[in-house]
Amino acid sequence: MLFLNSSIRQNNFRQVLLTTLSSYTFKRRNTIFALSSGQGKCGVAVIRVSGPEAGTALKKLTAAQCLPRPRTAVLREIVNPIDKEILDKALVLWFPGPKSFTGENSCEFQVHGGHAVVNSVLSALQCTGLRPAEAGEFTKRAFLNGKLDLTEVEGLADLIAAETEFQRKQAYLQSEGILSNMYNSWRDILIKSLAHVEAHIDFEETEEFDEQILQNIFADIRKLKAEISRHLEDGCKGERLRNGVKAVIIGETNAGKSSFFNILCKKPASIVTPIEGTTRDVIEINVDINGYPVILTDTAGLRSETKDIVEQEGIQRAIFQINQADLLIYMVDIEKLLNSGCKTVKEYIDRINEFKIKHSHSKETIIILNKIDLIHKRKDRMSDLLDKENCLLVSCKDKDGFSAVTNKLTEKLRSLCLNPNKEHPSMTHIRHRKHLTDCLTFLENFEEEINTAHVVLFAENLRQAVYHLGQLTGRVTNEQILDIIFKDFCIGK
């Protein structure tokens, strides 16, 4: 029978202890409070309290001898504990730890949402010796008390920040532990393998060791390595969905880029004039297209003949944007196309692409032929010219052809982002990619060592791989990493 080797146990214990000690600072024993609903006038505002004194504070502010039933909303008068003046009548809730969001004793006041009411209750809480919470402190306590791991914390932050339906869906799944479950199952495989290898080291000289066990470990690690590699090769879809797809509108001057941009943004964000070279700066607006987040970008028209140095700078910026883009929207003035004598749209685009835009061929591209209102009589000529798969005909003037544009954009966005699902969760942060890549490197080293039969090196590589997976979920961590993750939360969460 194999037992966890003592050095693994010591290592794990040390990691847990270090994490715990650094977390249980004096600050953490304080009871904290904050307005958890948004700032500003509203119907109901939620004030949250967490820490050992939460129950006492609740009793003082409700002038009550005993606490309400756990997790049951009750209507109470809220008083100033010093002069007993009634501040408001509110719903209050009592959440004894560990069955609370933070894992600590907590309570909630659902007061009327005016500035004066909220401020008076916050001041009353401060009078009882509580201190205002820092940004993300409730969630940090939930993490430190083992209620959430780091990927769940990140999911929660993303859920609060989510602006589109698919961002919400992805963030919700992550906050519910879909990534943690997968990473923890991988970590379990590694820990089991490490335990066996360590046992092999311990018993090798004194006992007969079953070689088959090592062979099974090699097979498990090979399988896990393939699984992690597959997960890493997701084309950054989860990260793109979280951050927004960068869609850059490019093309010649006067093609109608800014007109098109304004229609998709539903506001006149970019200046439109008949003068060539109107747009110079890069203009970005976040838009929601059928649940996908898009960073829509308008750019200066591409032309080489300009002597205007401001426009030249604008063109350089446009080229920079093209290289950053996930999706290019190429605008063409259809009248110019028909007058060009080109046989296909592609030939026309290649001809005007004097800027030899790098990588553009490898990027997802939609070609928009604009100003069809000007060529109605010549429409019959169009069918020979068009690459029907990739060209869309629109008129920004008449707002014609835009439902096809939305459909095409949605189709492209679906392939650029993941449609979040439980079966194949995607990484959403660059941090995940880094730790998984480091983990994989040690698994690759492990495989390379197989032929050398250096069992001590097997163990060291597995230990490092476990360490990097631990960093991913926060089983192994340090204050610096925590500060980076929690600083993005608002106060009261």
277 binds, among ligand GTP, Mg ion, none (CB under 5 to 8 A by kind): ligand GTP
Shortest distance, CB of residue 277 to Mg ion, whole angstroms? 8
56 binds Mg ion (CB under 5 A): no
From CA 410, how far away is CA 418, in angstroms rounded? 12
397 binds, among ligand GTP, Mg ion, none (CB under 5 to 8 A by kind): ligand GTP
373 binds ligand GTP (CB under 6 A): yes
What number of chain residues touch ligand GTP (CB under 6 A)? Answer: 23
From CA 139, how far away is CA 145, in angstroms rounded? 10
Q: Is 387 exposed, middle or buried (CB count within 10 Å of its CB: 0-12, 13-18, 19+)?
A: exposed
Shortest distance, CB of residue 300 to Mg ion, whole angstroms? 7
- On whether the CB atoms of residues 173 and 420 are closer than 8 A, the answer is yes
Query: Could you tell me if residue 391 is left (phi over 0), alpha (psi between -120 and 50 degrees) or otherwise beta?
Result: beta
Q: Residues 253, 297, 461, 473: which binds ligand GTP (CB under 6 A)?
A: 253
188 is written with which tokens?
A: 């379990």
370 binds Mg ion (CB under 5 A): no
Q: Residues 257, 429, 432, 463: which binds ligand GTP (CB under 6 A)?
A: 257
Q: Closest by alpha carbon to 353, among 301, 402, 275, 399?
A: 301
**What residues contact residue 396 under an 8 Å CB cut-off, 6+ apart?**
256, 259, 260, 263, 370, 371
From CA 307, how far away is CA 312, in angstroms rounded? 7
Site string for ligand GTP, 191-230 (x = CB under 6 A): ----------------------------------------
359 binds, among Mg ion, ligand GTP, none (CB under 5 to 8 A by kind): none
Residue whose Cβ sits closest to ligand GTP = 301
Q: Of the listed pieces 40-48, 169-177, 268-276, 435-443, which binds ligand GTP according to CB under 6 A?
A: 268-276
Q: Residues 370, 426, 428, 477: which binds ligand GTP (CB under 6 A)?
A: 370
Shortest distance, CB of residue 298 to Mg ion, whole angstroms? 6
Binders of ligand GTP among 384-403, rule CB under 6 A?
A: 395-397
Give the start-end residues of each E strand in 334-414: 364-370, 391-393
Q: Helix and strand tally (H, E) in the chain?
A: 18, 12
256 binds ligand GTP (CB under 6 A): yes
Shortest distance, CB of residue 348 to ligand GTP, whole angstroms? 16
What number of chain residues touch Mg ion (CB under 5 A)? Answer: 4
Shortest distance, CB of residue 334 to ligand GTP, whole angstroms? 9
274 binds, among Mg ion, ligand GTP, none (CB under 5 to 8 A by kind): ligand GTP
Shortest distance, CB of residue 282 to Mg ion, whole angstroms? 11
Binders of Mg ion among 256-295, rule CB under 5 A?
A: 257-258, 278-279
Q: Closest by alpha carbon to 175, among 161, 189, 185, 196?
A: 161
191 is written with which tokens?
A: 């820990």
| Axis-axis angle for helices 455-473, 178-203 (nearest 10) | 160
3-state secondary structure of 254: coil
- On whether the CB atoms of residues 352 and 252 are closer than 8 A, the answer is yes
DSSP-derived secondary structure for 257-269: HHHHHHHHHTS--
From CA 333, how far away is CA 314, in angstroms rounded? 20
Site string for Mg ion, 79-108 (x = CB under 5 A): ------------------------------
50 is written with which tokens?
A: 């967490």
Q: Residues 182, 374, 457, 491: which binds ligand GTP (CB under 6 A)?
A: 374
371 binds ligand GTP (CB under 6 A): yes
Q: Which residue shows structure tokens 């610096």?
A: 480
Q: Which residue shows structure tokens 């099974």?
A: 216
**What residues contact residue 473 under an 8 Å CB cut-off, 6+ apart?**
149, 150, 151, 180, 183, 184, 187
Shortest distance, CB of residue 360 to ligand GTP, whole angstroms? 17
277 binds ligand GTP (CB under 6 A): yes
Binders of Mg ion among 239-258, rule CB under 5 A?
A: 257-258
Query: Could you tell me if residue 347 is left (phi over 0), alpha (psi between -120 and 50 degrees) or otherwise beta?
Result: alpha
477 binds ligand GTP (CB under 6 A): no
- On whether the CB atoms of residues 228 and 309 are closer than 8 A, the answer is no
281 binds ligand GTP (CB under 6 A): no
Shortest distance, CB of residue 318 to ligand GTP, whole angstroms? 9
35 is written with which tokens?
A: 């307005």
Shortest distance, CB of residue 259 to ligand GTP, whole angstroms? 3
Q: Of the listed pieces 77-85, 131-139, 145-153, 270-278, which binds ligand GTP according to CB under 6 A?
A: 270-278
Select 279 or 321, whichever has its Cβ closest to Mg ion. 279
178 binds, among Mg ion, ligand GTP, none (CB under 5 to 8 A by kind): none
Residue at 464: amino acid letter? Q
373 binds, among ligand GTP, Mg ion, none (CB under 5 to 8 A by kind): ligand GTP
Question: What is the longest distance spanned by two Cα atoms in the chain?
Answer: 93
Q: Which residues lie across from 111 on neighbouring strands?
A: 45
Q: Residues 148, 255, 287, 367: which binds ligand GTP (CB under 6 A)?
A: 255
Binding site for ligand GTP (CB under 6 A): 253-259, 272-274, 276-279, 300-301, 370-371, 373-374, 395-397
Binding site for Mg ion (CB under 5 A): 257-258, 278-279
